[in-house]
Structure formats: structure tokens, C-alpha cells
């Protein structure tokens, strides 16, 4: 059994359902201390709601810093009876390792740590400064996790230059896709106000569903932007609609619509909010609208980090990786505020959050090798 596989199993065996870390970070910190890292735990909340965060740093000969980032928490298992084997008992079947968190993202954490150990064994005094940032609040509200550590680092004026987040980004095999950015996400809760009444006397009421129909059609048909070379066009989608009391003879007094923007760097939250308000006002609606921005878009164009990761993937696997900004949000959105170059790289993501989540064992060592080669390439560049 490889060291990467063994450590992945050790981490899976800890039932770290968000936000309970279950000692995963202590296990990692113990091995980081042996490599010369200074480890600091930043905890938020109390009792069962406590979030555990780890910040670890090892100075190099230069100030240029590479951060490995990720999360030790996992989503709930779902119905246990639907799992072919217990979700927190690492199990092997058909060349795959099964367990909750296998691909999201305990395999990445294990591969990162073993890669780091091998790199430092060969290069004990690297030019590159090294750091780790871990949280147990990525799969939850994400309010006391990476964002809290980033705010602390910003206050300390910590310098971060490169960051690799271990999110499962690959499709068929480790390294065939990396995320060099993510779209922003903004939610809106729109309430269209009408007047409740008896359905047989519509002239005595104002039906908010009827009133909103034309405006909704325009919002659906609106082209918000054209996207760009790295991002698809901004999209607007309704996620929920509710009106009425449940009675079939009552005109509702209000219509509540939940919607979401997934937006690229071509549109700002302020621009999107202004355009939505303009459409609603043009239709003379009586409405209230609440906004919540859960993440801003970020992008790392080809350059030092992207080039090093692409070269490492090609050298270790022969794969020409694909750059992508697709998918949901990640903690990279917080790190990008204090680090100019952020990418995400991990194993295939086909079974994340699913019953019987698993990772192919054959993907583990190539992933570790990619991380190690990236360390070598960045260290050589920083040293020159």
C-alpha cells in the first residue's frame, strides 16, 4: 500500500461531517511539524458548531509562498443502508477506494502531504516558503472557515503568492482538468406584492403571479453579458417560487421568487442588481428584493502557477490539461482576495457528495506526483 493511499484511508476513517474535524487536522499538523512547519489552530464557535481551521507555515530562503489549501469536513452520508460498505470504513472494490470524502477531498490532502514530505526529503532547504490552510467549514455555511483565516492573514499582512486548492477538478483521470478560476454567485429573494382575494372576484384583488409574468419572461430572456475567453456568459436561474395559501379559491397576496446569478468577470454584482431593478420597475411592480453575494468571481490567467501546474501534469501523466472555470463556488474565492494566483487541482469528481463516493486508487499516485513536480518547478523558478 502506498503512503498516499494509507493516509487517505486514515482520513476517511475519521467521520468529519461538517463542521466536526474529528482530529483530521491534528493528524496533518503532527506530520507538518515534523517537517519544520509552525502550526496554528484558529477555532470559531463552540460545542458541536465549532469550526476548526489550521494555518501552518514553513519559511524558505525566499519570501515567495506556496499555499496548499483544502477542507477536512465532508457532507453527511445520506441513508446508511444505501451504502455498499460503511461510509467511514475505507473499503476497496474493483480498484476503487470507497468512503465519504474519498474524492472530496481527503485523497487530495493525502497526496499533497506525501508530495510535500518527499519534496522536502530531497530538498530540505528550498527557496520556496510553504504553507497550509485547512478548514472544517467548507461544506457548511463557510462563514467561520477559510474566510476567517484569510481575514486574519490579511490583518497580519502575510504574503501569499501561489495557492493550490485540492478540490476534485478532474474528469476522467487526475490532471485532465484544473480550475483556474470560478464564477461568482449571487442570490436574490424577490417578493412581488399583490392583494389577496376570492378567486371568483378577481377585480377586487391583484394577482402577483399574473403581475410578475411579463417581468419574469424578460428576466429569462435577458442576455447579461457575452462571457469571455475564460468564462461562459452570466446566467440567471429561478430556484424556487411560492405563492398562495394552499386553497384553490384564494388569489395570493404575494409571490416569492428565489433566484441565482452565476456571473463572470464581465459583470459586477452592482451592474446585475441595477439591471434587475430596472426591469422590475419598467413593469411597474410593487416589490421588495433582498440580495446575498456568496462569492465573487476570480481568475488566474496563464502565468507562473498555471504554467508550472500544466507542465507538471504533462511531465507526470502525459496529459495536456484543460483550464476551466466551470462548476460551483469553492474556498478559492476567499483565498483569491489575498493571493494573486490560485488554482484548483484534484482527482476526478464524478461521485462527490454521492452515495458510495469513491476514488480510483490508480489516480492517487499520479496526483501526488503532480503536486511534487509542481513544488519542484516553482522552487526552481523562485530560486533563480
Rounded Cα distance between 32 and 117, Å, is: 9
Rounded Cα distance between 106 and 249, Å, is: 54
CA nearest 375: which of 186, 16, 202, 132?
132
Grid coordinates representing 182 are 470560478
Q: With contact defined as beta carbons under 8 Å apart, do 338 and 160 qualify?
A: yes
Q: With contact defined as beta carbons under 8 Å apart, do 208 and 303 qualify?
A: no
- 24 to 36, 38, 74, 149, 201: CA distances (angstroms): 19, 17, 11, 18, 63
Q: With contact defined as beta carbons under 8 Å apart, do 338 and 150 qualify?
A: yes
Query: What are the catalytic residues?
Result: 73, 138
DSSP state of 45: S
DSSP state of 220: H
SS3 190: strand
Rounded Cα distance between 281 and 261, Å, is: 19
Grid coordinates representing 26 are 491534528
- Cross-strand bridge partners of residue 163: 67, 342
Residues present in the chain in total: 384
Q: With contact defined as beta carbons under 8 Å apart, do 325 and 183 qualify?
A: yes
Rounded Cα distance between 69 and 128, Å, is: 16
Amino acid at each position: 500500500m502506498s503512503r498516499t493511499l494509507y493516509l487517505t484511508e486514515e482520513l476517511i476513517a475519521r467521520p468529519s461531517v461538517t463542521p466536526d474535524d474529528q482530529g483530521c487536522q491534528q493528524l496533518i499538523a503532527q506530520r507538518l511539524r515534523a517537517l519544520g512547519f509552525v502550526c496554528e489552530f484558529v477555532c470559531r464557535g463552540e460545542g458541536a458548531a465549532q469550526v476548526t481551521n489550521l494555518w501552518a507555515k514553513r519559511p524558505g530562503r525566499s519570501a515567495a509562498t506556496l499555499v496548499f489549501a483544502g477542507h477536512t469536513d465532508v457532507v453527511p452520508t445520506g441513508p446508511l443502508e444505501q451504502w455498499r460498505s460503511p461510509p467511514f470504513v475505507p473499503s476497496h472494490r474493483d480498484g476503487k477506494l470507497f468512503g465519504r470524502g474519498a474524492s472530496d477531498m481527503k485523497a487530495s490532502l493525502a497526496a499533497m502531504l506525501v508530495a510535500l514530505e518527499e519534496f522536502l526529503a530531497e530538498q530540505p532547504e528550498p527557496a520556496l516558503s510553504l504553507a497550509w490552510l485547512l478548514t472544517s467549514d467548507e461544506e457548511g455555511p463557510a462563514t467561520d472557515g477559510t474566510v476567517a483565516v484569510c481575514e486574519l492573514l490579511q490583518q497580519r499582512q502575510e504574503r501569499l503568492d501561489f495557492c493550490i486548492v485540492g478540490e476534485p477538478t478532474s474528469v476522467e483521470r487526475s490532471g485532465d482538468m484544473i480550475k483556474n478560476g470560478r464564477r461568482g454567485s449571487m442570490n436574490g429573494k424577490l417578493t412581488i406584492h399583490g392583494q389577496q382575494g376570492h378567486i371568483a372576484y378577481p377585480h377586487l384583488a391583484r394577482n402577483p403571479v399574473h403581475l410578475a409574468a411579463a417581468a419574469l419572461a424578460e428576466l429569462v430572456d435577458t442576455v447579461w453579458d457575452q462571457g469571455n475567453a475564460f468564462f461562459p456568459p452570466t446566467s440567471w436561474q429561478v430556484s424556487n417560487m411560492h405563492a398562495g395559501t394552499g386553497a384553490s379559491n384564494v388569489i395570493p397576496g404575494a409571490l416569492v421568487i428565489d433566484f441565482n446569478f452565476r456571473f463572470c468577470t464581465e459583470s459586477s454584482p452592482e451592474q446585475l442588481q441595477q439591471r434587475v431593478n430596472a426591469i422590475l420597475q419598467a413593469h411597474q411592480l410593487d416589490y421588495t428584493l433582498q440580495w446575498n453575494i456568496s462569492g465573487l468571481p476570480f481568475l488566474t490567467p496563464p502565468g507562473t502557477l498555471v504554467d508550472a501546474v500544466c507542465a507538471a501534469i504533462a511531465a507526470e501523466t502525459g496529459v495536456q490539461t484543460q483550464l476551466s472555470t466551470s462548476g460551483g463556488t469553492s474556498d478559492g474565492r476567499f483565498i483569491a482576495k489575498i493571493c494573486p494566483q490560485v488554482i484548483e487541482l484534484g482527482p476526478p469528481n464524478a461521485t462527490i457528495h454521492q452515495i458510495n463516493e469513491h476514488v480510483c486508487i490508480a489516480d492517487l499516485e499520479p496526483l501526488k506526483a503532480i503536486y511534487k513536480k509542481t513544488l519542484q518547478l516553482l522552487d526552481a523558478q523562485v530560486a533563480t
